[in-house]
Amino acid sequence: MSSASESIPGRRAELLAGLQASGRALATSTVLFNAALAERLGLIATEQKALELLERFGPMTAGELAERSKMAPASITSLVRRLEDKEYARRKPHPDDGRKVVIEAVPERLAAIGQLFGHFARSLDELYGEFTDDQLETILRFIAGTIDRQERATARFADR
């Protein structure tokens, strides 16, 4: 993979190359971490990520989960059924529309998953302590920009 940094001389080129390499390494590390976590929980990767969406955003309809996960509605139906069978999620009546149901993560199961993250979360807290507030703001801006660009790239793949 080539990038624009190949035509930029000096220190900036080194930094850009380092960012590109580190970004790729982080992406791989994240995928491997999530795959190991899913396996430990008896889930497949898409189930684990759907569960994470339910934890982050709260109960939602199957259509909302399909939209957030970028999965086809038919795929969501079977995914939710598997999460229910494994007792990680459950359906309950929609709070505002009795004709609908929402899917929610089972809180006790989320708590058990959270315990697996204790050591990792503490190590991240230590890392955060190495940076000033201004540096953390810069990191947050960079991550938000990266997420935005990755989501747009993902949407372009889906459009084809």
For the chain, how long is the longest CA-to-CA vector?
63
**7 DSSP assignment:** G
pLDDT at 116: 87
pTM above 0.85? Answer: no
Is pLDDT of 1 > 60?
no
pLDDT at 44: 94
Q: Are 15 and 3 in contact (CB under 8 A)?
A: no
φ, ψ dihedrals at 92, nearest 5°: -145, 160
Q: Report the range of poorest mean pLDDT among 4-13, 48-57, 135-144.
A: 4-13
* Cα angle value 49/19/117 (rounded, 5°): 35
* Cα angle value 39/85/87 (rounded, 5°): 75
- Length of the chain, in residues: 160
Element (H, E) at 44: none
pLDDT at 8: 77
Is pLDDT of 2 > 70?
no
pLDDT at 3: 58
Alpha helices, H only, the chain: 10-41, 45-57, 62-69, 73-85, 107-116, 118-128, 133-159
Tokens of 48: 């684990």
Residue with tokens 């991240």: 124
Rounded CA-CA distance 89/78 in Å is 12
The whole-number average pLDDT for the span 96-100 is 89
Q: Report the range of poorest mean pLDDT among 26-30, 96-100, 125-129.
A: 96-100
Q: Are 140 and 146 in contact (CB under 8 A)?
A: no
Tokens of 64: 């909302």
pLDDT digits (tens, 9 = 90+) for 21-48: 999 999 999 999 999 999 999 999 999 9
pLDDT digits (tens, 9 = 90+) for 40-87: 999 999 999 999 999 999 999 999 999 999 888 889 999 999 999 999
